[in-house]
Structure 1
Amino acid sequence: MSPDRMEKNAAIPTHVAIIMDGNGRWARERGLPRLAGHRAGAEAVARCLRAAMQRGVSYLTLYAFSSENWSRGPQEVADLTGLLCYYLRHKARELHAEGVRLRFIGDLSRFDDSLRAELARAEELTRHNSRLVVLFALSYGGRGDIVQAAQQLARAAAEGRIAPEQITESMFASHLWTAGVPDPDVIVRTSGECRLSNFLLWQSAYAELVFQDVYWPDYSEGHFAMVLDQYARRERRFGARPAASA
């Protein structure tokens, strides 16, 4: 492997997380129903997965359905969950053949039995794959993630299985829905909005943030490459002093 190739690989983030935003506005500006935006967004997911695999990213987390999305109209919720079910039935085996592992994080208990069964089947089918691990955040909220982890540890302390002073950051992280997954190196939000919207609040402590002014259905391999290029130019210090200049 050439030195240039090694340097390029060193600049590739291990974990990219994306807030996929703008499906509704994309559809509205074209005079289309919101479902058309969500369908176009699913096509963008496929492009994003291809780009992540081509560039050597190991983990990709996609914010697909937030805990706040349950407050949307019942028809839109039904459209979103139906589209997810369709995607899993028709794409899981294809992703499996490409070496993709699928994981689903969030309060999945809020979904109906049929969708939960599809999620479980996709996870089981792909669980031994390692080319790219894709986490779909569904019915997910960062605050809810922290609360459920705290509840688990509180129960353990109340039952005498751990002492409160034994709780460390690493122990807490092991009870989050993302347990076993490295924290994201970079978090991306599309559509021009500049906020996290309750996404990976604990895990994002040292993530680089990139905001892109493109609606998610228009997201391309080129947009993903721009994220990686920005990441490669940034100096990550994790609170340490910058290195002294030569």
Structure 2
Amino acid sequence: MNLDGSTALVTGANRGLGRHFAEQLRQRGAKVYAAARRPELVDLPGVEAVRLDITDEASVAEAAALAGDVDLLVNNAASTAGGNLITGEMDAIRDVMDSNYWGTLAMIRAFAPVLARNGGGAILNVLSAVAWTTIDGNTAYAAAKSAAWGLTNAARVELAGQGTHVAALVPGPTATETMLAFAESAGVALAPDAANDPADLVRLALDGLQAGEIEILDRYGREAKAALAGPPRAFVL
């Protein structure tokens, strides 16, 4: 997909990877809707801030009606703190599934007709290498990303007929505020080179999208995908 001249909507664009996506898409010549629950926190010049809660169907419908010229949807927003499935709080587990799976599905369903009217375009879902493994301390998040991977594959099949390219970014740890806060709370000391730089990861994702890739993987993603041929294993930070 040629990003220069495209029109993108990025969810969760007020911070972390979402902010980098919005910034780099703008730099590559795209018009950008920067969507967030609190759009007043979007501080990037040259983008249009949009109020959006992906877990609220009315909010999703309003965003789709507003951004009718979109030909690239970046599904980045998601809750990450679900805890463990067996011992965690059910409300937190539901929340992480609600945003990663149901929220992503709501966005795809709402924007699929928009993309079709605009020539097909593309969808990029931000997943995680733990979709192919798991991670003790946050198995709910891993399960939610596994569900989102299945959703991504299904959407690719269902939307092929309208010419929509559906891709997944499948990275390992990335040094966002959220990831660093999780590592600190879990008592995990990340080595200096253990986590992706967010700007570098987004650059990888956009390069892959422009090249027509369907799964865009960093080194952790490649290792996790290869490990599927063997016995199940946990991801270790």
TM over 0.5: no
Relative contact order higher in (CA < 8 Å, ≥ 6 apart): 1
Which TM-score tier does this pair reach, normalised by the shorter chain? 0.3 to 0.5
Query: Which of 1 and 2 has greater Rg?
Result: 1
TM-score of the superposition, structure 2-length normalised? Answer: 0.36
